[in-house]
Structure formats: C-alpha cells, structure tokens
A and B are shown apart, each in its own frame.
Chain A
Amino acid sequence: MKLPTFREVATEARLLLIGIPVFIWTMVPIYHMFLFAISPKEDAFSGKMWPDHPTLHNFSIVFHQQHYFLRDFYIQFWNSVVIAAAVGALTLFVATAAAFSISRLKVPGGRVVMNLALFTYFIPAAFLAVPMYRTMGNYGLLNNHWSLILAMVTIASPYAIWVLKQASDKLPVELDEAAVMDGATTLQIFRLVYLPLMMPSLVAIGTYAVLLAWNEYLYAFLLLSNDQDITLPVALGNFLSADDSPWELLMTTGFIYALPPAAIYYAFRRYMVGGLTAGAVKS
C-alpha cells in the first residue's frame, strides 16, 4: 500500500476542517429534536447531550394520543397525507398536460403561458398568501381541504411545467412523427409515447410537489383552522399557544412528522437532483 504524501494529508486535513463544521451545523437542530424525542422531561430540560435514561415513552404518548394537544394526532396526520397526495397527483396532471401541450403540440401562445406561469414563481409566497386567503374566502373554500390543495397546486405547477417542458424539449420530434405516421391520435401519443419517456422527470416533479405540500406551514395555517381539518404542522404550531408547552412531545411529534419527507427524499434522490436542477443551469 502506498503511503499518502504529506501534501495529500494536508489537503485531507483542510477538507476535514470544512467538513466537520458543516456536519455539526447541519445536524444540530435535527439532533436536538431527536434528543428531545428520546428524553424524559427532566433530561430534556437539563441540557444534556445524551439522556441518562433514553426512552421511547414520548413516542408512546404521541401514538396513544395521551395528551390534550394530541387528541387529533391521527386525523391530522391523515389530513397531511391526503393533502400531499392530492397535491402531487393534481400537480402532475396539470403540469404534464401543460408541458405536453406547449412543448410537443406547440399550441399557439404556449410560450406566453410559460412566462406567465413563471410570474407566479416570482411573487414571494407570503405576499401571495394575503390576497389568496381572501380569495379562498370569496370562493367559499376556507376551512376546506380543497383550499390548501388548490393553493399548493398553484404554487407547485409553474416550476413543474418549466422542468417538464425542458425535459420534453429533449425528446426527439421523430418519435411523435413516427407515431403519427402509424396513425396514432394525439391522446395515444401522449399516453403511449410521451408519458413512458417522461417517467424520470414525472417522478422528480411528483416528489417535489408532495414534499412541498407536506412541508407547507403558512398556507395551511391561514387556510385551515378546525382541529379536525388542520394538518400536522399547524397542530404543531398550536402547541406554542400554551404557556406550559410540552416541548418534549412537540419535538417527538415534529420528529415523526419530519420522517416521511426525509424518507421520500432519499428514496427518490437520484431522480430529484437530476430532474430538478437540470433546468436551473440551462443558460
């Protein structure tokens, strides 16, 4: 085995000097959340780096809904699941149809629609939230899951259309032409040629929309308010209104809530990094 040269060791040391602080910086809030989740109340409040008696008791309290704040835990978790799934499905439908129309069918004015869609992307999210809240009221959708679903589809779609259009443009036109020669209708081209080829990008976009909806706090907090209708992050926010918040339970619930997006992200990471950043560095 070749011994590393002094220069190699020095380079490695320099990289570690960056890598270790980066690791600590990234992990501390997440570790702190985990630490609270496995600590009995006394340990959590004592500032220990590791509890004397790590326990899963907090998880048991959450799963058995044995606290005033957790009365609706399962229904709120389910609300989050349903809303995220609906946002993923609807965004995919709306954005795929639009991208196919703009990129493959070259619909007149498609380019204009793309640019208009980008405009949504440039309205700061919290700014759009104010008039959107009132709009949902005017449509009679407040406190209805559809308000949050439609709001999140509105926010996810522009980026989705943009990424999908970039990917569509890379597919050779000859495929469509060959299919037309064989007598395929537009819908058959869409279903049999286009969708299968676009699968990796569709997975990336679907994941993106689901994560966006799952992690959303502001719109959920504004648009939904009944304990039975709210999603889990809003319920977590409501923990804070108490004077004596059960922080160890808050962190435990938060930890449970943070697991699915992390898992989904890692499951689809390959698609996401490629699919979502490809458009970004185009120019």
Chain B
Amino acid sequence: MAITLSGDQAIPGPPLSSRLTPAQVWGIALLAPYMLVFLAFVVYPVCYGLWLARQPASYVALYNDPVFARAAVNTLIFLVIGINIKMLIALFLSGFFAQQRTWIRWLSVIFILPWAVPSIPTILSVRFMLNPEWGMVNQIIFKLTGDDGPNWLNDPTVALAMAIGVHIWKSLPFWTLILITGRLAIAHDLFEAAEVDGASWWQKFRYITWPSMQTLYITCTLLSMIWTLGDFNSVYLLTGGGPADLTHVLSTLGIRYLRLDQLSLAMASIVCAMPFVLPLVYFMMKRLSR
C-alpha cells in the first residue's frame, strides 16, 4: 500500500515524507481505513442529518404532533425508571454472582443468554406470551384464579411497563457482567479485615464495596442511558409503538417518521433529544479519555 503525498508537493519546504519516519507513514496508512469509515458513515451522516433538521417548520410540526409529546414523556419514563431499576438489580446481582458456588457459576453461564441471543425471536416470544387470549401468562392467570388476565399490550401504561421489562431482560446480563468484574477487582483482604471486625453485610457494602464501585456504577449508568435512548427493539418489537401510537419513545418515533418519508421530522425529533444526550456525552468523554 502506498501513500500519495502529492497534495503536499505544492507546499514549499521539505516534503512531508522526509519529515516523517517510515513508522509514522505506516501509522497513518494503517489508521486510514478507520478514518475513511468514520468520515463516510459517522461525520457525513451526522452533518447531513443536522442540515436536514435545520428548518424551524419541522420543529413546529413536531410540537403540534401529539405523538411527539407522548414519546418524549415515555422516553423520560424509560430512562429514569427503567435504567435505575436495571442498574440497581445489576448491582445486587453482581454481588450474588460473585459468590463462589458451583451452581452459581452454572447459573451465570445461563444468565448471559438474553444478551447473547438475538432480540427479535425472544421479544416476539414475550409478545406472544402477553397475548390476552392465547398467551401463556393469561392462560396461567386463568387457571389459577378463573379470571381473565389484563390485556397487557392494550393499555399504554402497562404496555410501556412491559417494554421496560423487556429492555431490562435483554440488557441486565451485560451490566451485571461489567459490575461483577468491578466487584472482583476489589482487594479481598479488605473484606477479610471487615469480617474480623465483625462488620455486617450492609456495613461491608456501605464502607468497602460501594466506595470502590461508585465511579464504575455511575459510568455504567450514563452509558446505559445513551444506549437505552438508542434501543429501538424493545418497544418496536413488543408494541410497535401502539396502542394508538401511545408507547413510542424517541428512537421508535424517529424511525416511524422515516418510514412515513418525513425525514426532516425524523431528524428534528432526534435533535430534540440532544439536550439529554450532549451532557451525557461530555461527561463520558471526560471519564473515558482520562
């Protein structure tokens, strides 16, 4: 692979090639494929998207679309409730899986499945389980109580709760795994010393585990927020945004506008999420590039 530096020939002074060591020339050449991918599929789309979202008329239209307001509220509920429940369970389970037991090791191998298998068949499986007539859940409720169960996906509040449940089911293993790694990194003698001093489990958590894991936990929560904003599958595959477009979140709403060929609305709805995203991105960049 050769690097052409012909563009620099016009510049007076020594050609660039003589100022760079061969290793640096290779360095640039090896970095080039990624730079091309990044420019073509991240920089260009983002700039183009912002350009498409430039017209104030789009935002007026968005503001007048009741689906948008509902989607914004749903997104907020998804983020605040969904993520905190998920991360707290992950924190709790990381302690459970850190226990040394053969059966717990086996369980941890099974526990990872939701993360490893594709979303589409599993989420559709849940969707059928929640079917009011033939679904397994309501059949069990009927057998136990003799009453018909609720119509899980027909009430927007319940349907959104179910979508949050699916999201947790899918992403809990990943975050638990990360938090287990964090937990195992804590020096063991700290716990032994605490044990000798007769500390309760809560004291051990409060004074050893939590201080060591706090930063990791917060980083994970922030990253999880960004990824949850981009989670299209949990809502789309479970409810399709229904009933009556009441369970949309910003990610499914953007794609909905895209499918309706309203590209500037799609981009505008995404731009509206920027006040959420940018502080997260800023904080994450600071944390990770340290």
* Chain A residues proximal to chain B, CB less than 8 Å: 15, 18-19, 22-23, 25-30, 32-33, 36, 45-47, 93-95, 97-98, 100-102, 105-108, 110, 113-120, 122-135, 138-139, 150-151, 153-154, 157, 161, 185-187, 190, 211, 214-215, 217-218, 222, 233, 236-237, 240, 247, 250-251, 253-255, 257-258, 261-262, 265-266, 269, 273, 277-278, 280-281, 283
Would B287 and A127 count as touching, CB distance under 8 A? no
CA–CA, A106 and B96, complex, Å: 42
| A interface majority secondary structure | helix
Residues of A with C-beta under 8 A to B24: 105, 107-108
Say whether B72 faces chain A, with CB atoms less than 8 Å apart.
no
Would A255 and B121 count as touching, CB distance under 8 A? yes
Would A236 and B124 count as touching, CB distance under 8 A? yes
Would A251 and B125 count as touching, CB distance under 8 A? yes
- A28, A115, A281: which has the most chain B beta carbons within 10 Å? A281
Residues of B with C-beta under 8 A to A218: 232-233, 236, 255
Would B33 and A258 count as touching, CB distance under 8 A? no
> Which positions 162-180 of chain B face chain A at CB distance < 8 Å?
169, 173, 177-178
Would A19 and B134 count as touching, CB distance under 8 A? no
Residues of A with C-beta under 8 A to B226: 122, 124
Would A102 and B31 count as touching, CB distance under 8 A? yes
Say whether B216 faces chain A, with CB atoms less than 8 Å apart.
yes
CA–CA, A83 and B104, complex, Å: 36
Would A97 and B31 count as touching, CB distance under 8 A? yes
- B23, B104, B107, B267: which has the most chain A beta carbons within 10 Å? B23
Interface string of B227-266 (1 = CB under 8 A from A): 1111111001100000000000011101100100001001
Would A101 and B120 count as touching, CB distance under 8 A? no
Cβ-neighbour of A281 out of B45, B169, B178, B289 (below 8 A)? B178
- A105, A154, A257: which has the most chain B beta carbons within 10 Å? A105
Contacts A47-B140, A135-B44 given; does A97 touch B33 at CB 8 Å: yes
Residues of A with C-beta under 8 A to B202: none
Would A236 and B27 count as touching, CB distance under 8 A? no
- B35 → A minimal CB distance (Å): 7
A160 to B, closest residue via Cβ: B34
Cβ-neighbour of B255 out of A22, A126, A266, A273 (below 8 A)? A126
Say whether B110 faces chain A, with CB atoms less than 8 Å apart.
yes
Contacts A15-B101, A222-B258 given; does A233 touch B120 at CB 8 Å: yes
- Among B4-12, B80-88, B111-119, B151-159, the stretch that binds chain A is B111-119
- A59 → B minimal CB distance (Å): 14
The 7 closest A-B pairs by CB, nearest first: A254-B121, A47-B139, A124-B230, A107-B27, A131-B49, A126-B251, A105-B27
CA–CA, A18 and B99, complex, Å: 12
Would B129 and A29 count as touching, CB distance under 8 A? yes
Say whether B284 faces chain A, with CB atoms less than 8 Å apart.
yes
17 residue pairs from A and B, CB less than 8 Å apart = A30-B117, A32-B128, A32-B129, A97-B30, A98-B34, A123-B46, A125-B230, A130-B254, A154-B37, A211-B116, A218-B255, A251-B128, A258-B122, A262-B113, A262-B117, A280-B181, A283-B288
CA–CA, A153 and B49, complex, Å: 20
Contacts A101-B30, A277-B178 given; does A33 touch B258 at CB 8 Å: no
Residues of A with C-beta under 8 A to B140: 47
- Among B56-64, B189-197, B273-281, the stretch that binds chain A is B273-281
- A283 → B minimal CB distance (Å): 6
- B35, B117, B229, B273: which has the most chain A beta carbons within 10 Å? B117
- A25, A139, A280: which has the most chain B beta carbons within 10 Å? A280
B213 to A, closest residue via Cβ: A281
CA–CA, A211 and B115, complex, Å: 10
Would B231 and A126 count as touching, CB distance under 8 A? yes
Say whether B207 faces chain A, with CB atoms less than 8 Å apart.
no
Would A22 and B251 count as touching, CB distance under 8 A? no
- B54 → A minimal CB distance (Å): 13
A35 to B, closest residue via Cβ: B136
Residues of B with C-beta under 8 A to A107: 24, 27-28, 30-31
- B146 → A minimal CB distance (Å): 14
Would B255 and A130 count as touching, CB distance under 8 A? yes
Would B177 and A105 count as touching, CB distance under 8 A? no
Cβ-neighbour of B118 out of A134, A153, A217, A283 (below 8 A)? A217
Contacts A119-B285, A122-B277, A129-B255 given; does A30 touch B96 at CB 8 Å: no
